[in-house]
Amino acid sequence: MNPSTKKIQTKLAVIRLLQENKRMSLEDLSKYSGIEDIKDLKKELGKLYMVGSYPYTPDQFIELDYDGDTIGIRMPVDLEQGLVLSVREWAAIRSLFLEEDEKEISPSRKKILQSILEKIHAILPSAGVPSENDLKKRIHDAIQSGKSLEMQYQANGEAQAEIRRVDPWALLSFREEYLIGYCHVRKAPRTFRLDSIIQLSLTDQDSVQVPDEERKEAILKLKKFLSQTEADSEVAEIYHTAEVYFNLHSRLPLERTKDKIQLKGVWYYLSKTKIRNEEWFLSTLKGFGPNVIIRSPENLQERMRLYWEAQSLLER
């Protein structure tokens, strides 16, 4: 066998073993990779580690994690599918790029910055997204004056924003900031994350008078959900691609299993996670598109299937 071919096959064998197993000891990795000498194995791992160094880009990045006993690997991220940002995060990024664009004097770099800004403007209104403080002030003003709010709201995982008329009841803070009120589109109390509000304005329409008991019940229900411990939550099983694991895990703590399936040439890995709230859970998963598949429970699996069927019909 050609020496260069053998070296490549050795590296691929190490990568495949680390990909297919959550973590491995150096002894097991040596046994199954065919690299009997631990010193030689460490040299191969050192070469892989260098792939995570300059001049490689994030979509070529390989990260090795060695804790003294076992070793794991994180493979390159598909940037077009794996990176999911909230409206507020996109707005913060745009502000940073606008500042850089004003200071930049290099024509080539200015061209790149403007190209990036054009793409962000396609996602967010060019007028910009109000700051969290601005949103809170407008909500407080609406509550005090008894007026309705009109908002442009893009829930996590939804491709397009919706226009909602909302009678604000209260602001709640628990890790994230929330507005709770009566939604005239859904004809029921609803909760809105502030970081998903793109535009918000005070209207001249009076808020619908709702019994205090109903408002208190809705607020208590939200508080209960936000303070709910994971131990009280139902467990879901989801298949996901390796590319989205890092971003998905940051939103839903995942417990990896050894199970996996291959669909249309793509490997999907099975993890378990807590649901806490079905609407929030499904909204989060929608943001990852076809990279995530629900295995259980069946009712959420069916709801997700119907959602993607509807999206497919809209795109025709």
Residues ≥6 apart with Cβ < 8 Å to 268? 239, 240, 241, 260, 261, 262, 293
Work out whether the CA dihedral 7, 245, 274, 174 comes out positive or negative. positive
Looking at the fold, whether 57 and 9 belong to one and the same domain comes out as yes
Looking at the fold, whether 20 and 54 belong to one and the same domain comes out as yes
User: For position 208, which CATH number holds?
Assistant: 2.30.30
Continuous segment of H or E residues that includes residue 193: strand 188-193
Q: What is the pLDDT of residues 162-194, one digit of tens each?
A: 899 999 998 887 667 888 888 898 888 888 888
Looking at the fold, whether 144 and 179 belong to one and the same domain comes out as yes
Looking at the fold, whether 142 and 223 belong to one and the same domain comes out as yes
Looking at the fold, whether 137 and 221 belong to one and the same domain comes out as yes
Q: What is the pLDDT of residues 54-74, one digit of tens each?
A: 444 444 556 677 767 788 777
Does residue 211 surpass a pLDDT of 70?
yes
Task: Indicate the pTM of the whole model.
Answer: 0.45
User: For position 265, which CATH number holds?
Assistant: 3.30.70
- What pLDDT does residue 177 have? 81
Does residue 145 surpass a pLDDT of 80?
yes
Domain end (from 227, 260, 280):
227
Looking at the fold, whether 206 and 136 belong to one and the same domain comes out as yes
Looking at the fold, whether 172 and 212 belong to one and the same domain comes out as yes
Quickly tell me which residue has 């994690």 as its tokens. Answer: 65
Work out whether the CA dihedral 213, 184, 124, 276 comes out positive or negative. positive
Looking at the fold, whether 35 and 62 belong to one and the same domain comes out as yes
Looking at the fold, whether 218 and 247 belong to one and the same domain comes out as no
Does residue 275 surpass a pLDDT of 80?
yes
User: pLDDT: is 288 or 298 the higher one?
Assistant: 298
Residue 111 CB coordination number (10 Å): 11
Q: What is the pLDDT of residues 219-269, one digit of tens each?
A: 787 777 666 655 556 889 999 988 777 778 777 788 888 899 998 888 899
- What pLDDT does residue 54 have? 45
| AA identity, residue 66 | Y
Q: How many domains does the chain have?
A: 4
| 208-212, 258-262, 271-275: segment of lowest average pLDDT | 208-212
Domain end (from 212, 227, 242):
227
Q: Are 249 and 210 in contact (CB under 8 A)?
A: no
Residue 244 CB coordination number (10 Å): 20
Domain end (from 227, 249, 267):
227
- What pLDDT does residue 271 have? 92
Residues spanned by the domain of 239: 230-315
3-state SS string over 79-97? HHHHCCCCHHHHHHHHHHH
- What pLDDT does residue 128 have? 61
- What pLDDT does residue 53 have? 47
User: For position 22, which CATH number holds?
Assistant: 1.10.10.10
| 76-85, 177-186, 292-301: segment of lowest average pLDDT | 76-85
Look up residue 72 and give its two tokens: 């794991």
Looking at the fold, whether 235 and 310 belong to one and the same domain comes out as yes
Looking at the fold, whether 247 and 268 belong to one and the same domain comes out as yes
Looking at the fold, whether 23 and 93 belong to one and the same domain comes out as no
